[in-house]
Structure 1
Amino acid sequence: MTIKVLRGNPTPEELAAALAVVRARAAAAAVQPSGAPGPRDSWADPSRLAAHRTPRPGPAAWSRTYWPS
């Protein structure tokens, strides 16, 4: 792996800190399988919709579907 500084003049300590961050991120990415999905958000959970029963339309439901302006 090659790291190239495009701007500025970093000190050896700054380069070492940046390299440590890059290596830590690469090691964390190598441990986690690439095809494994992350934790699901509760908004994307389909069981959230199935938890509550939706009311069934009554006999006059068709008359409430249009609201004139």
Structure 2
Amino acid sequence: MIRVVRGNPTPEELAAALAVVRARAVASASGADSFGSGAPGPEQWSDPARIARRPGPRPGPRAWARTYWPG
């Protein structure tokens, strides 16, 4: 059962909202990826590997000489 908590939706607005809820329920029941193809699910949003997909630039041959700044 769905209950309207605030506002006064028209029958068309209520039918549109229920159609979206029903479509999402059918998609999740069939095991389809509701986020589209290739998009990560909520369980993968905090995965650190998702942030850095490829490695950063590698240091050059004389990078060690630029790591120390005498002060």
Work out the number of aligned pairs and report it: 59
Please give the alpha-carbon distance, in whole angstroms, between the structure 1 residues aligned to 2:70 and 2:39.
41
Write the mapping of 1:20-39 to structure 2, written as runs, cut at 5 A: 20-32=19-31, 39=38
TM-align CA RMSD: 3.7
> SS state of the match for residue 4, structure 1?
coil
* TM superposition shift of 1:44: 4.2
Unpaired stretches in structure 1, ≥5 consecutive residues? none
Unpaired stretches in structure 2, ≥5 consecutive residues? 41-49
Q: What is the TM-score when the length of structure 2 is the normalising length?
A: 0.49
- Compare CA radii of gyration and give the structure with the larger one: 1
Write the mapping of 1:1-12 to structure 2, written as runs, cut at 5 A: 2-12=1-11
Please give the alpha-carbon distance, in whole angstroms, between the structure 2 residues aligned to 1:9 and 1:56.
65
Write the mapping of 1:1-69 to structure 2, written as runs, cut at 5 A: 2-32=1-31, 39=38, 44-45=52-53, 48-49=54-55, 54=58, 57-58=61-62, 61-68=63-70
Q: What is the TM-score when the length of structure 1 is the normalising length?
A: 0.50
> SS state of the match for residue 7, structure 1?
coil
> SS state of the match for residue 67, structure 1?
coil
